[in-house]
Amino acid sequence: MSQTADVGVKPPPPRDERVAQRSLLSRLLTRPEIGALVGAIIIYIIFFAVAPPFRDLDSLATVLYVSSTYGIPAVAVALLMIGGEFDLSAGVAVTSSALVASMFSYQFTVNMWVGVVVALVVALAIGFINGYLVVRTGIPSFLVTLGTFFMLRGLNLAVTKLVTGNVGTNDVSNIQGFESARKVFASTFTVGGVAIRVTLLWWLLFVVAGTWVLLRTHIGNWIFAVGGSAPNSRAVGVPVNRVKIGLFMTVGFLCWFTGMHILFAFNTVQSGIGVGNEFIYIVAAVVGGCLLTGGYGSAIGAAIGAFIFGMANQGIVYAGWNPDWFYFFLGALLLGAILLNNWVRKRAEAMR
């Protein structure tokens, strides 16, 4: 009788197996990007359902392109936030890089690649100055880079008007070296009849590189340690100042790269663009799981955050909604992501 009753009854898994399952789920929930991934899936399903144009492959390519233009600098901003700092000048630094490359090559009639290199030096110098001021003065990076933001914004407009006589740069498409530079920074290729911008490949490359640095190198360990506690990191021999300055220069590098794309995609640059984009980079990083207090986050999470922004940016248009609501949606997205990420982390801690 007892044998008959036991037929078909599956015994519970061994305790070690249950512990292993909980441990695997706990590790999954502790990943910074898990909350952003859930949010991205939900938002994609919503726009897929309510906006028929959103379902087209060409529309997806547009979403990915928009995401990449914000996602490239967001990778560096995420690394900087993990290191415990902010950069509010990133948005206008993108424009500054493009303006320098354009005006230098045009005014001095030199190869475009010379202007590109000069712009890179300027972008790295801006990052170095930001980092140096932060580590030497002890002033919060929020205030230092806010000052840089206003100075660059003023310089972008004033110098452009002084040099060109208007608020935009001259067309540089006829300058030697333009076409080869455009192939690197702003070319398009076709996959299955769908036009893909090369920025998507560069974005993926930078995300992979940032993830590798964070998870597989000593520098990544230093970044997490410095963001968690700079004094403790310094006490165990971590070169805190060099790490922070290097992170600010990394932001400068990816801002330069994004600026080069803007220049070679449109041939000219308007001096007033870029204002406010620094907040989008930070939103992408925070949505992706980066803590405002530092010491936690990922490059993959920032990429997902940028993808969410790209979906919202284009999905609202495809759905025919009033675009005036976009920034309300962006703020709600940021708040929702923070709440979701906090809930996920608490669940993970409770399962340990």
> pLDDT per residue over 244-282, tens digit each?
999 999 999 999 999 999 999 999 999 999 998 999 999
Q: Residue 295, by phi and psi: left (phi above 0), alpha (psi -120 to 50) or beta?
A: left
Q: What is the pLDDT of residues 216-227, one digit of tens each?
A: 999 999 999 999
User: Mean pLDDT of all residues in the chain?
Assistant: 89
Angle, helix 326-351 to helix 34-50, in steps of 10 degrees: 140
User: In this predicted structure, what is the pLDDT of residue 319?
Assistant: 87
How big is the CA angle at 286 (ends 327 and 237), to the nearest 5 degrees?
A: 150
In the predicted model, is pLDDT for residue 2 greater than 70?
A: no
CB atoms within 10 A of CB 213: 16
- Do 165 and 32 meet the contact criterion of CB atoms below 8 Å apart? no
Tell me the two tokens of residue 313.
Answer: 């940016």
User: In this predicted structure, what is the pLDDT of residue 19?
Assistant: 46
Domain spanning 33-351, CATH class: mainly alpha
Separation of alpha carbons 219 and 230, rounded Å? 14
Residues 6+ apart with CB under 8 A from 323: 316, 317
Instruction: Give the predicted TM-score (pTM) of the model.
Output: 0.89
Domain ranges of the chain: 33-351
